[in-house]
Amino acid sequence: MASWYDGSEIPAENAELIDGSAEETSGGTIDVAPPFPFSELQLLYEFSATNETYRNLAATENSGVNNPFEVAVPVIEDVTAEGGTDPSDVILQELQLHYDSLATNETYQDQVETKNLGVNNTFDVVVPVIEDVTADSVTDSSDVILHDMLKSPFARLYSSENYTGGFVDYHYETATYQSGCHNLTSLRGNVKSMDTFEKCVRLFKGRNCEGWSQAVYPGSGNSHKVLNSKLRQVISVGPCLPDEFQSATISKSSNVIQVVKNYMDWRNTVPDLVEFLSHDKYWQSDHNNNSLVAYSPKGHLQRSEFLLAHIYKKHLGGSQSFNMEHTGFYKSLDKEAGDVIGYGIPLSLMGPPKENNIFPQTPSGKEQWLQLTSGIRPFLENNTGFVDLGLNFMYANDVTTRPYAFYYWMKFGSTRILYGRVLN
């Protein structure tokens, strides 16, 4: 029987809509993460978590651990023609954007290195990675500190508050899924506190890094007691977002470093508590077919708040656009100068040209989203199964119809899970 984030069973007739099977077994799930590489980090774990010397050393970068994941994706010049385009041209444009090299984008050339990380040697998923920060590339030491907090996160999760009781270790390199998402087993639903050793780690209410998520890092003030009204249990754990500390600053007092997020800049700041794939919105959604689930709040049908698609190889042919930007519905939506029509599920992945799949989007956000989803096609072309793609839209208030951001979640079979944010 399949189960949702809280561990409750899902009726058999609904299981396929959520994870495509009666019960998924990733094959890589383990009680405790395998031993770390034999290095200084391994030796440090032999010390007590309260040992001050250990804590200082644990924050030191371990050269034996690979660099992790992403930051912002480079912006490509918008290719959408004014006044509408031929539907086939729209699809070709999206496919071209998926595969065009970003090497000529000079704006990001000095900031971002885009790499294709091979998965099981059968396909490529494009993952933007954080470059190593050196004295030559930054002038503020706080940038180096924030950068290191996001690299190769590891943590110790405890069964009781205040870092007591039984524990298991989490490490990015040995997680259940590539890109760091890890399903807990022995402490599933029983985590009460966590030591991140001056790293940034996210806890999730559901398996596979779904549902409500709480960030824990130096300065978050919740590592000794991680549960709250939204995160009532911890089922999985994963890395923080690549832009987790956008608009954040560093506070130093008595050699103690703390991160301070700027919540006055709420559009750019990533909240500590974020929902990536909503259980409640899923069950309130329009389940009109087995491939796309969409949710719009009652009384406000002019905006979409949640999308979940099961994308199979058969969907790679693409959809027609029907010039949705000229419809009365799209014209009625709130927009900012320069906005273009955005598709939550891209047309090239059979995203429907319907009201629940379109929204006003910045050209840079559109190109970023197409780049982030570019790994779906090669995965499906070289593997059996499907890709789950979920979006949770964020709005400034209850009446606006233009999202200021959306949080995404992607699951590539049983091999890789990606999640993050696209600003708008």
* Domains defined for the chain, CATH in brackets: 12-65+154-239 (2.60.20.10), 87-104+278-423 (3.40.570.10)
- Give the DSSP letter string of 231-253: --S--EEEEPPTTTTTT-EEEEE
- Name the residue with higher pLDDT: 70 or 233: 233
Judge whether residue 223 has pLDDT over 70: yes
Identify any residues that bridge with 419 across adjacent strands, giving them in sequence order. 409
Residues in the chain: 424
How confident is the model over 173-185, as pLDDT tens digits?
A: 999 999 999 999 9
Judge whether residue 117 has pLDDT over 60: no
Contacts (Cβ under 8 Å, ≥6 apart) of 223: 163, 193, 194, 195, 196, 216
How confident is the model over 262-305, as pLDDT tens digits?
A: 999 999 999 999 999 887 787 777 665 556 666 666 555 578 88
What is the structure's pLDDT at 273? 96
What is the structure's pLDDT at 71? 32
Mean pLDDT of the chain: 73
Judge whether residue 13 has pLDDT over 70: no
What is the structure's pLDDT at 423? 96
What is the structure's pLDDT at 290? 53
Q: Are strands 201-204 and 212-216 parallel, antiparallel or unpaired?
A: antiparallel
Q: Enter the pTM of the model.
A: 0.69
